[in-house]
Structure formats: structure tokens, C-alpha cells
Amino acid sequence: MHPNKATHRDHMHINTYEGNGRLAGKFLNWNIISISMDLPPTDLKDPSVAYVDLEELEFPLVIRPWQEGDRFVPFGMSHFKKLSDYLVDEKYALPKKAATLVVETNGHIACILGGRVDQRFAISKASTQALRIENT
């Protein structure tokens, strides 16, 4: 088994700044990019791409299915929200909800793939490097 691939059937551990893999029927590709909010990435609003501030992350990251009890601070908000409530509020259909993956760093959800980034891990004007994660 490759060290950057799933170590458990439904989890993937990311130990490097660049790589790819498959999890839950999705192809994932990640890499580090230099950023400037004066000239933001062209795909910043693409729901299949997530940008998280590299300085806020602790490796290894874990990509896994969401679980009851998960909570995060949705981008643009200042308080925690249960992920289950977020999925209902965003009107996720049951199949999409069942297939939702999260990126976890040191026990905290950094982002929902195909959804929202946690405010604590979002890129900002002060960010110089970001981890870009694309899922297709």
C-alpha cells in the first residue's frame, strides 16, 4: 500500500504536499500553490476545488466521510455549526449527503469537499501558500 493512499477502506491520509488518490468513487488531486488575494485563483469559487491556508494545517491530513457529531465553522461565520445541520440547510439530497467527504487536520474539519471551507482554515489576504484540493 502506498503511504499516501487509504490506510483504511474509507479514509485517506495525506502526508505530502502533492499527490492524488481515489476515495469513495471520487478522484482527488492535491498540491501546494503560492497565492495572493490581490490576484486570487481563477477557480476559487469552483465547488469541486477547495483552498485551505497551508500555515493552519497539521499533517497528516485525513480525508474521510462525514460523521454524526462533526462540526465546523462555515466560511463567513464566527460560530460552530453541526455538519448535519449544514447539510440539511444546504439541501443536500440523501445520495450526496452519504457521499460527502471532509478534510480533517489535527481533529478539526478544515473543509467539506464540494462544500464549504472552515473559517479557521480559509485563505485570507495574509495567506501566501494554500493547499489546493480538487475532487471529481
Q: Which CATH number is 94's domain given?
A: 3.50.40.10
The domain of 84 spans 12-135
pLDDT band at 133 (very low <50, low <70, confident <90, very high): very high
Give residue 9's pLDDT. 67
Which pLDDT score, from 0 to 100, does residue 45 have?
87
What the block records as the C-alpha cell of 126 is: 495574509
pLDDT, tens only, 46-95: 999 999 999 999 999 999 999 999 999 999 999 999 999 999 999 999 99
Q: What is the pLDDT of residue 13?
A: 94
Residue 7 maps to a domain: no
Look at residue 7 and tell me whether its pLDDT is greater than 90.
no
pTM of the model: 0.88
Q: How many CA atoms lie within 13 A of 2 on its CB side?
A: 11
Helices (H), 59-98: 83-89, 94-98
pLDDT at 6: 37
Is 67 part of any domain?
yes
Q: How many domains does the chain have?
A: 1
Q: Which residue has the higher pLDDT, 10 or 102?
A: 102
Selection from 48, 17, 10 nearest residue 32 by Cα? 17
Assigned domain for 124 exists: yes
Distance between CA 42 and CA 60 in Å, rounded?
27
Per-residue pLDDT at 36: 87
Residue 5 lies in a domain: no
User: What pLDDT is stored for residue 2 in this prediction?
Assistant: 37
Q: Is the peptide bond before 60 cis (omega within 30 degrees of 0)?
A: yes
Phi, psi of 74 (to 5 degrees): -55, 145
